[in-house]
Structure 1
Amino acid sequence: FVVSNSIPGKKLLGDWRFPPIFFVAGFLFEVVLCKLRINNINFYDVYKRKQAHEFVVKKHQLDDYLKTITLEASRKPTNALTFMIGSQTAHIWLNPMKDYKDFIQKAEADYQAQQQELAEVEEYLKKKREDRLKQIS
């Protein structure tokens, strides 16, 4: 309560003095997500890798993956909405997902390599079982 009263413009704008603050906060939050790198990795590198892996796994496991996506619409308070608008503005400006396609291709290649490796292990185990059965017989 003390913080909200310390922000000027209450008589002129009332509660509408907060959305610009939340817009700037959302914008800066997104800039930090895009620009802050720890060990040369930022938030979107991790996000894209996880999303690409999840996409490829679901693509191979579920034929109707796209049917499972639900869209929910709900009402948001003005401040949260302006935070999101600020965040999206920075997101559009910085475009951190422009190379998402490359992450999907890498995840697909990793998935195929993993499947190949599993098939080779299965073949090896099958051969070992057959050899063991021949020894027993």
Structure 2
Amino acid sequence: MKNNPLNRLQKWMMGRNGGDQLSLALLILSLLLSIVSGILDLPIIIYISYIPFVLAVYRIFSKKVDKRRLENYKFMMKVSPIYSFYHKRKTTLKDRKTHKYFKCPNCKQGLRVPKGKGKINITCSKCGTKFIKQS
């Protein structure tokens, strides 16, 4: 069991950053740039695609874990509004047959009510405003 290659790799990676969301995003960017380079037949783009690839590999094998975590945290703080927007849209599309969505006229809070209940009195959970809508 001592000569198992996976054990050696695991031992070698101990104390290193490993893969995280920023590294994955850099690898995807590198892949997309190389695909675009192949489609447009522009060799300069393939050289540019090496930059995010090298950065991703550096981040994965880096032993400066605290710095890499901070970089990943800052990246996630920039990306989270985009992720949140698409997640809300996905949920809205998924629930469109059973629920209807309204915005509070006072505070613009999103509210979800069941469909098919006729005219209902909706109370905003954030500000307490009451309004009547057709569900």
The TM-score range, normalised by the shorter chain, is under 0.3
Identify the structure with the greater strand proportion.
Answer: 2
Structure of greater Rg: 1
TM-score, normalisation: structure 1? 0.27
The structure with the greater share of residues assigned to helix is: 1
